[in-house]
Amino acid sequence: MYVEYRKSKEIHKSVRKALDLVVVLNDVQYAKNVAEAFQIAGSFKISKLILTGSTVTPPFGNDLQKASLFEEKKIAFEYQDDINICLAKLNSSDYRIWTYSLNDKSQSIVNLCKNVPAKLAIIFGNETNGLSKLVIEKSDSQFFIPTNLHRCYLTTNLALAITINTIFLN
């Protein structure tokens, strides 16, 4: 088991060096979800976290700092009021944009990860309403996480962790 953990850790290190990964949270409603996203970002050492729209921004109170494990003090992040400006900046910096969305154009994250670009931004939306059609239309690809559940959507942070892990492992 230790050998598998060590091998996985080495794979993640080599992928991190080759991949510039940005996570965008758009209109994420619950502060705890944002705090936990910082923890996930810190665990995977992503390049940057961008918070847009009505998403809560640090500094966090004591309870949320426990959820984030103080990663908001270590992870590069920025706030952008308008998601469209954020998308324009990412496009002008040559990022490919993937959105977490279930629609007729969505691909399984496993299939999509067969060709991961060197500069990638993944966008997650509001816990209830997801992302707007405009944001989805402006993305390069849409993805879903295949499950055996009756419900199609996972919690924001579970989906974020599974997505990043899948990207790093493929």
Which CATH number fits the domain that encloses residue 66? 3.40.1280.10
pLDDT band per the 50, 70, 90 thresholds, residue 148: confident
User: What's the sign of the alpha-carbon dihedral 130, 132, 133, 135?
Assistant: negative
User: What share of the chain in percent tops pLDDT 70?
Assistant: 77
- Using DSSP's 3-state secondary structure scheme, residue 113 falls into helix
Backbone angles phi, psi at 44, to 5 degrees: -95, -5
pLDDT in the model for residue 124: 96
Say whether pLDDT at 159 is over 80: yes
33-37, 51-55, 143-147, 152-156: segment of lowest average pLDDT: 152-156
| Residue 43 φ/ψ, nearest 5 degrees | -65, -40
Tell me which of 25-34, 54-63, 149-158 is least confident.
Answer: 54-63
- Mean pLDDT, the chain, rounded, equals 84
Structural domain harbouring 109: 2-169
Question: Are 126 and 27 within 8 A, CB to CB?
Answer: yes
pLDDT over 80 (residue 100)? yes
**In angstroms, what CA-CA distances link 24 with 3, 8, 51, 148?**
33, 25, 6, 27
How much is the pLDDT for 151? 59
CB atoms within 10 A of CB 88: 12
Q: Which two tokens stand for residue 120?
A: 């990638």
**Does the pLDDT of residue 90 top 70, yes or no?**
yes
Query: What does the pLDDT read at residue 59?
Result: 62
The pTM assigned to this predicted structure is 0.85
Domain count of the chain? 1
Backbone angles phi, psi at 124, to 5 degrees: -120, 140
